[in-house]
Amino acid sequence: MNPLFLGLDLSTQGLKAVLVQEDCAIVHESAVYFDRDLSHYGTTNGAIRGLEGEVTSPVEMWLEAYDLLMTRMKAAGVDFSAISAISGDGQQHGSVYWSHDAEPLLANLDALKNLSSQLSPKAFSSQKAPIWQDSSTTRECRELEDAVGGAQALADISGSRAYERFTGSQISRIRRINRTAYDATSRVSLVSSFMPSLFLGKIAPIEISDASGMNLMEILSCKWDDELIRACGGPELRAKLGPEPVAGGTSLGTVSPYWVERWGFSPHCIVAPFTGDNPATVVALSFPGDALLSLGTSTTYLLSIPPSLTPPKRFTTSHLLAHPTTAPDAQIAMLCYKNGALAREQVRDRYADGHWSKYNDLVETAPPGCNGHMGLYFPLPEIIPPGVKGEFFYQTSDPTTPLRLAESEVPSGLHPRMILESQFLSIRSRITAILPANSPPLSRLVVSGGSSGNQTIRQLAADLFDMKVYISATKEAAAMGGALLARFAWWKATEAPHGSFEEMCSGVDAEAFGMKCVAIPNPDAVLAYSKLVGSYVACEGAVVDACGMGGV
Ligand code: XUL
């Protein structure tokens, strides 16, 4: 039987599966969307917003998504017995709180029943999982930075200064506001380690690349840091985190009898660590010299870089992550924005009657630079610059001193182009700071995520970044990265001698990754944008001042 590899992606808005053959050609895809398919949980775009910036998702919804996804795959004729290994990815930073009943419940799942009815609510000490959109932990962030000697000191240890969504501060807040739940927690999982736990029938360790998004791991050694652990959750947090983080592409064991009996999986099917959605995208799409622009619910800009000898400087507001397969020889530099696709959709709905075709026409009719108008849109409290919220419009004829405008003073047809320009200029203004001197020069911009299918957006990215834009044949990049991690774990477990991830990929059908150039920079637009970076920086500074957030 030809082996198959399953990659699962638990993103903000849905759970997706990609099944690939040994040559990495995709043979099946399925998806469950939370708002549409599991509407009884009442989520909006997969999340529930509470008070004080709290944003969570119901853990039971994720379990039910697993049940439904498996049902859909079976109905589509997937032969589960042919799956040799499983891996995947989850939205980064989100955390699941297991109760003391969790391990026995996971180990004794009844194959006649679904996951959600057996695990929810008893296996969890909190029924809601804080996710990456949460911004309720400002107090905990300051306390954590103070505990270790400041923001830069924390970045030196963990790869990032404190961020509201990072899991250490999330754990710290739960300990402060709900001590009973914290004490009733046997283990804390990331979304990415919650997922394989269900397959293994026991709680899985956390993976190194996703652990980099917690402010709890020492970024160079990829080991838990006791000082950070104590600051976030007291000494008892050490046991709740489980063993030291593990590298991607290793084997955690095989699927539990539940999966064999209920769905017909092979008892030899390997479960490999799952990683974060952004590292998984890097695994699927990045070759040396590529920059990745992931245009999903969040916008992320990712660079696979040689190991950094100096930690990221605070002013860059970037993150350094361990690489899932290539640590310690490579790391990932990342910029992450909360206001990505959803902010663009709001602009589309308000100014383009909810139609992408009209939106694109408006973008194409406006000139680069929108006749000296700039608009910055932050419907959710932003990550870069930290905490800013609202909409801000400027006239930029004097690039150093932007003049604030009311919305009514901006021609309404300019908004679709203005939001793209400011979102991309924010990234462009930070690239030099996050690209280490020993990196290969950037040659291609690979775009992925929902908005990467939009040709108008691709062309604007080519012009603004002055780079040729490529897309991959792989539509679901994160889930594909998961399938590759599954294949890597299987390859290492079955073939000797074991090679590197890159060696494994050299044996893979290039068609599966086929990169296609979809946009070439237009020299006139490139020139216009190179002059706008300074104006953008001045506008962003004005927004930070207007929000009273202080310097970044
Ligand atoms: C990365 C981040 C988001 C989530 C959801 O730091 O918060 O990109 O991973 O995609």
Give the pLDDT of residue 315: 47
What span, in angstroms and rounded, lies between the C-alpha atoms of 188 and 191? 10
What span, in angstroms and rounded, lies between the C-alpha atoms of 69 and 408? 46
Cβ count near 40 (within 10 Å): 9
Give me ligand 1 centre to Cα 385, in Å.
Answer: 15
Question: Using an 8 Å Cβ cutoff, are 299 and 340 in contact?
Answer: yes
Return all residues near 410 (Cβ < 8 A) that are at least 6 apart.
373, 375, 393, 418
Give the pLDDT of residue 1: 77
Question: Using an 8 Å Cβ cutoff, are 435 and 388 in contact?
Answer: no
Give the pLDDT of residue 552: 45
Give the pLDDT of residue 417: 98
Question: Using an 8 Å Cβ cutoff, are 521 and 463 in contact?
Answer: yes
Protein residue with least CA distance to atom 7, ligand 1: 132
Give the pLDDT of residue 316: 62
Give the pLDDT of residue 513: 67
- Global pTM reads 0.94
What span, in angstroms and rounded, lies between the C-alpha atoms of 541 and 520? 31
Give the pLDDT of residue 306: 84
Index of the ligand 1 atom closest to the CA of residue 319: 6
Burial profile 496-530: b = 16 or more Cβ within 10 angstroms, e = fewer: eeeeebeebbeebeeebbebeebbebeeebbeebe
Question: Using an 8 Å Cβ cutoff, are 376 and 333 in contact?
Answer: no
The finding on whether 300 has its CB within 6 A of some atom of ligand 1 is yes
What span, in angstroms and rounded, lies between the C-alpha atoms of 278 and 478? 7
The finding on whether 277 has its CB within 6 A of some atom of ligand 1 is yes
Protein residue with least CA distance to atom 2, ligand 1: 92
Return all residues near 310 (Cβ < 8 A) that are at least 6 apart.
none
Give me ligand 1 centre to Cα 132, in Å.
Answer: 6
Long-range contacts of 51-55 (CB under 8 A, 24+ apart): 52/136, 53/134, 53/135, 53/136, 53/138, 53/164, 53/381, 54/130, 54/134, 54/136, 55/130, 55/131, 55/133, 55/134, 55/135, 55/136
Question: Using an 8 Å Cβ cutoff, are 431 and 408 in contact?
Answer: no
Regions of the chain short of the pLDDT cut 50 = 314-315, 551-552
The upper half-sphere exposure of residue 95, i.e. CA atoms within 13 Å in the direction of its Cβ, equals 26
- CA 70, 74, 80, 83 torsion-angle sign: negative
The finding on whether 336 has its CB within 6 A of some atom of ligand 1 is yes
The finding on whether 132 has its CB within 6 A of some atom of ligand 1 is yes
